[in-house]
Chain A
Amino acid sequence: MNIVVCVKQVPETTAPKEFGPDNRINRAAHEAVVNPFDEYAIEAGLQLKEKHGGEVTILTMGPSGAQDTMRKALAMGADRGLLVSDPALEGSDTWTTAYVLAQALRREEYDLILTGMESTDARTGLVPAALAEQLGLPSLTYASSVEVEDGNVSVRRQVTGGYEEVRGPTPALVSVVKGVNEPRYPSLKGIMAAKRKEITVLDLAQLEIQPDEVGAAGAKTKVLDVTPRPEKQAGQVISPDSPEEAARIIADFLQVNKFI
């Protein structure tokens, strides 16, 4: 079974986000890491490979430096990498990103596409579904478990208050949530082996994409403004005269705010 895991390179997640004049995240400001949500997708891919055999390919769209973070996925045990990199891709939005990934995937043979549920930088969570749509594949998003059997993929989809069981025929796209598994550490042998694994770099011409279809030119959305989260306001301090009054104030508060 051949699996492609879509992996994004993101700025280090604990660092505060900085934005450029075009309202886009300044990616040079911080160390780049594998999108933590994608680590679950990589682990899910590796577990399926261990069970069913086949190959795990890492697909990334990003600058050429993204090869460094792709190496981590290869060190974890993925077999090869595909990096789509082209200056014209700068400023791509979720739709154009999905389009580019879809063009790259059309050249591949696969049974399953795995992605994280979202990236920690933009957090839209739109790319997995958009990618499935562009490829005309079943889209099984927000999976908290993934099983493949007899040409079908079954997932538990996390929903409010529980989960749904969803099944679709392969090839299919599955996005996984945090907690679907515990991503492994790359082993030292894996790290040593990773440098011998191949990362193929593709540009737009090889994917038959016109430069104006992607990047800022092809984007269907544009970030108009970025506003920092408002500072937390100081809470209200109440000094009741008696325990009874305190209880009444708390009960009123809970009722007014519909907690009870």
Chain B
Amino acid sequence: MDFDLTDEQVMIRDLARDFARNEIAPRAEYYDHHAEFPYDVIAKLAELGFMGLPVPEAYGGAGADTLTYAVAVEEISRGDASVGITMAAHTSLGIMPFLMFGSEDQKQEYVPPLAAGQALWSFGLTEPQAGSDAGATRTRADLHSGFWVINGVKSFITNSGTRISGGVTITAVTGGSVGDREISNIIVPAGTPGYTVSREYDKMGWRASDTHELAFADARVPEINLLGERGAGFHQFLRVLDGGRISVAALSVGLAQACYDASARYAEERVQFGRPIAQFETVRNKLVDMATNIELARLMTYRAAWLKDRGRDFRMSAAMAKLFAGEVATRAANDAVQIHGGYGVMEEFPVARYWRDCKIGEIGEGTNEVQRMVIGRLLGL
């Protein structure tokens, strides 16, 4: 076993860490407060190559492995989870489906500008009545004289409504009957007539990340915009989510680490009854438990990434890492606010934001409950 990162991974981690500390964290409060998309931060990340980290160099990416990508998402999220999810959703949900299922032409056409971060791409699975239960998908795409005609609504779609959003890959019912629907993935570029980016959500957390509802009213795209095989959509999005869980786990680890960083610093500075509160066992134990759980969550996340990089079955490890890291981040944020006392409730301290940000890690890309269903199924229960 080798728990050491390679020299190159260490350099990328240090770069992500320095960038998060110097360029992301100082702006996080502003963007969160104004629920504003951090275009300047994303542009700088793109310039450094972070928006296409695990994309092969042949398609304009940095050619890094999944572990390096997870380490980077962790460090970026340590600065701001909104930036972390923007990068993670763009990469794992936006770009990866092209690389996994796209034709060579589709990869050549769509991936290079996305890997360069010139445009963002989204993945449209969730609907008002369907999320992880994709069998309940209602959005339809019907083939009429060489065009897919799309009708329906998609909910909570990350990165879909920015100035640089290039489009969305959606799951849609392309045939079959009730109980045996045929689901396919269709590529819908921004600007397609009939495709409307509708309302922006006012979120409790990840407020600087872009989340919109999407409406499709007779939106027409050419038949070649089918991604991979017709009818393979269900299988495809499950595979997309398997990989996505690693990056959401990494995001939660980074956020939990930020909670620890802020709490340890505060507990050393804050003096009560004549000594720093870190010297009180009750506070110290919170910090110790936080650090211990973060270490565990990080190892689980790295191992899931490591399995994926070796082409092994990583599904259960990824679901476990995502579940555990999400819960760890929520506990860490809760204790971080507690350690800060009254100041923890104040928005001028970052832990208030962490407390609002952590919860989505237990919901997005499959709730804790769905993770447990996935893990239970993989355990053969």
Contacts and interface: CB of A to CB of B under 8 A. Distances in A.
A191 interface: yes
A185 interface: yes
A192 B62 contact: yes
A68 interface: yes
Contacts of B53: 188
Which interface residue of B48, B53, B63 has the most chain A CB atoms within 10 A? B48
Interface residues of A, number: 13
Contacts of B12: 188, 191
B265 to A, nearest CB: 13
B135 interface: no
* Interface of chain B: mostly helix, strand, loop or mixed: helix
Contacts of B7: 68, 71, 195
A40 B291 CA distance: 36
Contacts, number: 36
Given A75-B11, A195-B7, A195-B8, A188 B19 contact: no
Q: How large is the interface on B (under 10, 10 to 19, 20 to 34, 35 or more residues)?
A: 10 to 19
Given A68-B7, A71-B7, A185-B48, A191 B15 contact: yes
Interface string B1-35: 00000011001100100110000000000000000
Nearest to A186: B15
A195 B33 CA distance: 41
Contacts of B63: 192
A187 B7 CA distance: 15
A185 B15 contact: yes
Nearest to A188: B49
Given A71-B11, A187-B47, A188-B12, 12 more contacts: A75-B11, A187-B49, A188-B15, A188-B49, A188-B53, A188-B64, A191-B12, A191-B15, A192-B8, A192-B62, A192-B63, A192-B64
Closest 8 pairs (CB-CB, A-B): A188-B49, A188-B62, A187-B48, A191-B11, A187-B49, A189-B49, A191-B12, A185-B48
30 contacts: A68-B7, A71-B7, A71-B11, A72-B11, A185-B15, A185-B18, A185-B19, A186-B11, A186-B15, A187-B47, A187-B48, A187-B49, A188-B15, A188-B48, A188-B49, A188-B50, A188-B53, A188-B62, A188-B64, A191-B8, A191-B11, A191-B12, A191-B15, A192-B8, A192-B57, A192-B62, A192-B64, A194-B11, A195-B7, A195-B8
Interface of A: 68, 71-72, 75, 185-189, 191-192, 194-195
